[in-house]
A and B are shown apart, each in its own frame.
Chain A
Amino acid sequence: MKIKFGVLVAPVVGFALATALPLLAHHSFSAQFDGSKAIRVQGTLAKIEWTNPHTYFYIDVKDEAGVVLRWGCEAGAPAALSRRGFKRGDLKLGDTVIVDGYRAKDGSRLMDARRVTLPDGRIVSGASEGDGGPQVPQVPDPAGKKQ
């Protein structure tokens, strides 16, 4: 599978306020991430830190010059992800993962993982709950199950 890397330009589109009841926020989204810098990172899962206060997926992405860059993707705490049906066993090292979210304000290769597309095609929310960040609409599962 082709490994892609891209930063998307940010057209001005409003997001609806949160509809789900938020639970816990270690910090506000906007204190750390830039809501104007949406990004998709697709690559190979190199490391998982299933930890508090956030879970981290580290994804290796090869750029056009063949240089491998490692991106850190910050997701919610393990208990929050687990409640959504996103378990540690859903990912293993070497998997191809697609993470959509927003870049850190300090310009580092760290992003907020709002949406994670798993190797089996399931799309799960990686968002840290209660952080006031942009809400991502649920994606209907063609099989009829909520994702």
Chain B
Amino acid sequence: MKTFFLATGALALLLSPLGALCQQNDPNSKTAKPGPTPRTADRHADLTGYWKSTRDSKFFWHIGKDLPDRNLPFTPAGEAALKHNQTATKDPESLCIIGGAPRHNVTMMPFEILQGTRKVAFLYGDGSYRLIPIDPQRKHSEDPDPAFFGEEIGRWEGDTLVIDSVGFKDEKIWIDEYANPMSDALHVVERWTRPDAEHIHVETLIDDRKFYTKSFTYSRTWITGEPDDQVREFSCSENNVDEQHLGFGPGPVRKDGTIGYEDPAPLPPPIPRSPAPKE
């Protein structure tokens, strides 16, 4: 028995650096043991940072990725809106119209959060931004001006930043990269947490009874960037040559549900570069 435990202990010791190595090679983690959640002076979790995509799902472009088989519960109006987006609408972002919420939670775009006491700023890689007022007493307007990010109100629930948004645009906006639709009846509730120093997570509640028969959630995790990473200048309409060449909809969808071509043709072989002659 003693021999068994010794052998087991030795095996555990042998495997532990291997486990750490596996974790370090995990693309969704930067270190084997991420540090604790940083905090602001008022003791809230600090969401400040530059955040980029992890590879926790190959379907994170799809708003229904957490539903069984990604089946969105469309109403007849939702089905019609989807068909319109797929067959008669160019991707609004390709026309340099900002994607807004919740689409910016669904893309590969990096973003940066600057957290203050009374406001939290989300800065996106396409040059768009949103400012969330932190005010638990505030109520939504009776008749908010339609916006791509909606009318947002933030509050803290412990270490969770809750962003409640209504008042969305109903044209020139997709809810995700698959051209799934959203209406002006959409109500989005985001719950942002920072479980450790390296990760940020959101649970997004989508409630749009005009286009979807019931509410559903979308969750996602991002990883922190390098210390000198930051969102950079981007002017979408500077030279938007694509506008005249793009087709409608998101493009073909593969059998596995991801966007893209099933078997793209191979490129010509690269031209070998000759090594420099030795001196």
Closest CB-CB distance, A103 to chain B, in whole Å?
10
Interface residues on B, range: 35 or more
Give the residues from 23 to 78 in chain A that come closer than 8 angstroms, CB to CB, to chain B. Answer: 23-32, 34-38, 40, 49, 51-54, 56, 72, 74, 77
Contact of A24 among B55, B108, B238, B251 (CB under 8 A): B108
Contact of A133 among B58, B245, B260, B276 (CB under 8 A): B260
Contact of A52 with B239 at beta-carbon distance under 8 Å, contacts A106-B245, A110-B245 already known? yes
Closest CB-CB distance, A121 to chain B, in whole Å?
4
Contact of A26 with B245 at beta-carbon distance under 8 Å, contacts A17-B58, A121-B273 already known? no
Give the residues from 213 to 252 in chain B that come closer than 8 angstroms, CB to CB, to chain A. Answer: 232-236, 238-242, 245-247, 249-252
Number of A-B contacts (CB under 8 A): 178
- Which chain B positions have C-beta within 8 A of A132? 61, 251, 258-260
Q: Tell me whether B270 and A115 are in contact (CB under 8 A).
A: yes
B108 nearest CB neighbor, chain A only: A130
Q: Tell me whether A31 and B270 are in contact (CB under 8 A).
A: no
Interface residue B107 (Cβ < 8 Å from any Cβ of A): yes
- Which chain B positions have C-beta within 8 A of A34? 261
Contact of A38 with B265 at beta-carbon distance under 8 Å, contacts A28-B250, A117-B270 already known? yes
Interface residues of A (CB under 8 A from B): 8-15, 17, 21-32, 34-38, 40, 49, 51-54, 56, 72, 74, 77, 79, 98, 100-102, 104-106, 108, 110, 114-115, 117, 121-123, 129-130, 132-134, 136, 139, 141-143
21 contacts between A and B (CB under 8 A): A8-B265, A10-B266, A12-B263, A13-B263, A21-B27, A23-B108, A26-B126, A28-B259, A31-B246, A32-B246, A35-B264, A52-B236, A53-B238, A72-B241, A74-B241, A77-B234, A79-B234, A100-B267, A104-B245, A130-B109, A132-B258
| 10 closest A-B pairs by CB | A10-B265, A30-B251, A35-B261, A35-B264, A27-B94, A142-B275, A130-B108, A51-B239, A121-B273, A38-B265
